[in-house]
């Protein structure tokens, strides 16, 4: 059994990853670390973890864990991913891994010199609904893909929330703009060549709170918007010349709506619906990661894939600043 350590008591760890680890067939929650030892002990007791540490360094030095999940603020991801790898631990780090593509080279170097598995936590790539969309698109179910359209938004104006703090890596693009980008790349196996974008920033927070993006993939285009100050919405559509696919709750299936993929024919006369009611994308993620760490065959999100996705995000910022097309 893979022994997990959680580096901090962050909300996503409490609400998503710890339940996923507890539910997993090949993992166990072994330790919680926090800079506040009382918080670590309280969460460890609540979650049934036998070990609690009052510093991240102490947990990384311990032989009670095989790997860690890092849900720290984005600005700290690269630093602690490198530290964890250098401690000989496998590392699952919350997305986005970095705030620019160049920084990921440090993590790749740490992975390679320590022979550990390091992965960015894009849980959507493990969800069977996205595997189905990829199968349908690449299998020709909608003919020639011409356009992908996406949206991801929520409303958050809490100044204490890290998503509204630029020094911690806040902003709409790092938090949610990565999802339309990564799922389009995952489904098609293609990479954007150039990008056009508009990005609006909050005058008080300084973070990007709205982005409208057009990405040229050559054979097709991706357009999407994301915002941290708009009404809740998630949607992805893959439109071809023989039909189109709608992913109703693409990123937080079960929260925004049911796990549902709809395949429509060209005349909009018939629809096939695919449902995945028992799917738990966070559990599937931690199980795949643990299998890979054990040396078994398992598809997982590689650091090389992280570099490609972050390059697209970097290009969005450049495009917004220039007002024109930017190469990825």
Nearest to 110 by CA among 72, 80, 82: 82
Q: For residue 256, name the pLDDT band (cuts at 50, 70, 90).
A: low
pLDDT at position 253 is 79
3-state secondary structure of 8: coil
Question: In this model, does residue 172 exceed pLDDT 70?
Answer: yes
Q: Contact 264/38 with Cβ under 8 angstroms?
A: no
Q: For residue 268, name the pLDDT band (cuts at 50, 70, 90).
A: confident
Q: For residue 247, name the pLDDT band (cuts at 50, 70, 90).
A: very high
Nearest to 233 by CA among 134, 149, 129: 149
What DSSP element (H or E) covers 248?
none
pLDDT at position 57 is 97
pLDDT at position 82 is 98
Which residue shows structure tokens 């990384």?
A: 60
CA angle 177, 178, 184 (to 5 degrees): 105
| Torsions phi, psi for 51 (to 5 deg) | -130, 145
Distances (CA, A) of 71 to 33, 68, 153, 289: 11, 10, 21, 16
Report the residue count for the chain.
Answer: 328
Question: In this model, does residue 230 exceed pLDDT 70?
Answer: yes
Q: How far apart are the first and last CA of the chain?
A: 41
Question: In this model, does residue 255 exceed pLDDT 90?
Answer: no
Mean pLDDT of the chain: 96
Q: Contact 94/12 with Cβ under 8 angstroms?
A: yes
Per-residue pLDDT averaged across 53-75, rounded?
Answer: 97
pLDDT, one tens digit per residue, over 276-303 is: 988 899 999 999 999 999 999 999 999 9
Rounded CA separation 14/28 (Å): 15
pLDDT at position 277 is 85
| DSSP states of 213-245 | EEEE-SSSEEEEEEESEEEEEEEEEEEESSEEE
Q: Contact 320/63 with Cβ under 8 angstroms?
A: no
Question: In this model, does residue 254 exceed pLDDT 80?
Answer: no
Rounded CA separation 155/209 (Å): 10
Q: What is the DSSP letter of 197?
A: E
Q: For residue 74, name the pLDDT band (cuts at 50, 70, 90).
A: very high
Burial class (CB in 10 A: 0-12, 13-18, 19+), 169: buried
Q: Which pTM does this prediction carry?
A: 0.95
Tell me how crowded residue 139 is: count the other CB atoms within 10 A of its CB.
8
pLDDT at position 177 is 97
pLDDT, one tens digit per residue, over 180-201 is: 999 999 999 999 999 999 999 9
Per-residue pLDDT averaged across 111-120, rounded?
Answer: 98
């Amino acid at each position: 059994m893979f022994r997990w350590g959680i580096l901090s008591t962050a909300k996503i760890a409490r609400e998503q990853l710890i339940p996923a680890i507890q539910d997993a067939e090949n993992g166990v929650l072994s330790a919680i670390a926090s800079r506040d030892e009382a918080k670590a002990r309280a969460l460890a007791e609540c979650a049934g973890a036998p070990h609690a540490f009052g510093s991240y360094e102490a947990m990384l030095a311990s032989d009670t864990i095989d790997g860690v999940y890092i849900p720290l603020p984005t600005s700290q991801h690269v630093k602690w991913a490198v530290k964890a790898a250098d401690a000989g631990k496998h590392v699952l780090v919350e997305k986005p891994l970095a705030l620019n593509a160049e920084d990921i080279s440090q993590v790749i170097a740490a992975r390679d010199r320590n022979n550990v598995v390091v992965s960015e936590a894009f849980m959507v790539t493990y969800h069977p609904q996205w595997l189905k969309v990829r199968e349908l698109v690449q299998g020709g179910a909608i003919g020639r893909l011409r356009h992908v359209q996406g949206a991801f938004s929520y409303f958050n104006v809490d100044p204490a929330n890290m998503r509204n703090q630029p020094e911690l890596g806040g902003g709409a693009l790092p938090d949610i703009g990565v999802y339309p980008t990564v799922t389009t790349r995952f489904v098609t196996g293609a990479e954007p060549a150039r990008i056009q974008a508009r990005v609006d920033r909050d005058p008080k927070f300084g973070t990007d709170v709205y982005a409208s993006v057009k990405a040229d993939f050559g054979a097709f285009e991706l357009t999407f918007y994301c915002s941290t100050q708009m009404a809740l919405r998630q949607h992805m559509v893959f439109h071809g010349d023989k039909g189109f696919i709608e992913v109703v709750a693409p990123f937080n299936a079960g929260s925004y709506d049911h796990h549902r993929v709809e395949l429509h024919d060209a005349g909009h006369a018939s629809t096939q619906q695919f449902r995945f009611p028992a799917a738990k994308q966070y559990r599937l993620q931690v199980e795949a990661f643990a299998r890979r760490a054990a040396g078994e065959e398992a598809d997982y999100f590689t650091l090389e894939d992280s570099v490609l996705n972050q390059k697209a995000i970097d290009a969005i910022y450049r495009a917004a600043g220039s007002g024109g097309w930017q190469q990825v």
